[in-house]
Amino acid sequence: MTKVALVTGCSEGGIGFALCEALAFRAVTVYATARSLDSMKALDHPRIKKLVMDVKNDDDIQQVLRTIMEAEGKIDLLFNNAGILAAGPLIDHTVDQFRDIYETNVVSLFRIVKSVVPLMAKRKEGMIVNIGSVVGDVPSVWTGVYDSSKAAVRSMTEVLAMECRPFNIKIMLAAPGSVRSKIIDKQGDYEMVPNTIYGAFHHNVLDRLALGYTPDTITVKECADGIVGRALSANPPSYFYIGGQTRLLRFLAWLPRVWAMSLMWRTFSKPAPKDKMT
């Protein structure tokens, strides 16, 4: 029987877009969602159906779920991919920016699983894949708000995995490292906020963002193929790391915490080269 998948955050250029293509290639019926249909117009496959859904809007979520259940009668796979990246010193973010990041990366994930888990529980079958990040294991300086939101995603996923055991619902956390995606490209023009106390570290923030372009950085297609391949396997893993820098960050996770944080700070607090100083 054909599997049915719901994927969030499917705008072109991102991991969600590539997840939809990878799933369709494997004969899965895919419901791709994003805040606008225009952002998904390049998704052109007979197995992919596109729906508008803002993950921060409860009415949108319920409408999408009704549409899928009326058409398919089930949801076999849920890929919680929607998320936003935010760079800069922690205290340079406004409270509204902080709330928006958590609303998108954490609260919205809760909104969706709260509605989808009961549907899967009735059938005693299903799988949920939450897209986290390696920085959810080891936070990196200059992306603290994003990193802390992904740490929350990891914790929620672990609890969900335990609490879904009675209903035969499989839970997987996919933790990408460096992936060349739209979410990274959007940070290319980063500028410090006016009157920041961290002005001397602007080049360090740019160095941190440059990790998205290291030699071992993978494409969104490579990332999506890896995640979908594991999710559809006979024994999907609870955790799946993929992408550049994952080995390094997993190594840091095994170090005493104070060592890991000290190394992270030393790496991204070096003075600017003289030829770049003004």
The residue from 102, 146, 190, 239 that is catalytic is 146
Helix H, strand E, coil C: the string for the chain is CCCEEEECCCCCCCHHHHHHHHHHHCCCEEEEEECCCHHHCCCCCCCEEEEECCCCCHHHHHHHHHHHHHHHCCCCEEEECCCCCCCCCHHHCCHHHHHHHHHHHHHHHHHHHHHHHHHHHHHCCEEEEEECCHHHCCCCCCCHHHHHHHHHHHHHHHHHHHHCHHHCEEEEEEEECEEECHHHHCCCCCCCCCCCCCHHHHHHHHHHHHHHHCCCCEEHHHHHHHHHHHHCCCCCCCEEEECECHHHHHHHHHCCHHHHHHHHHHHCCCCCCHHHCC
Known active-site residue 146: yes
Residues with catalytic annotation? 146
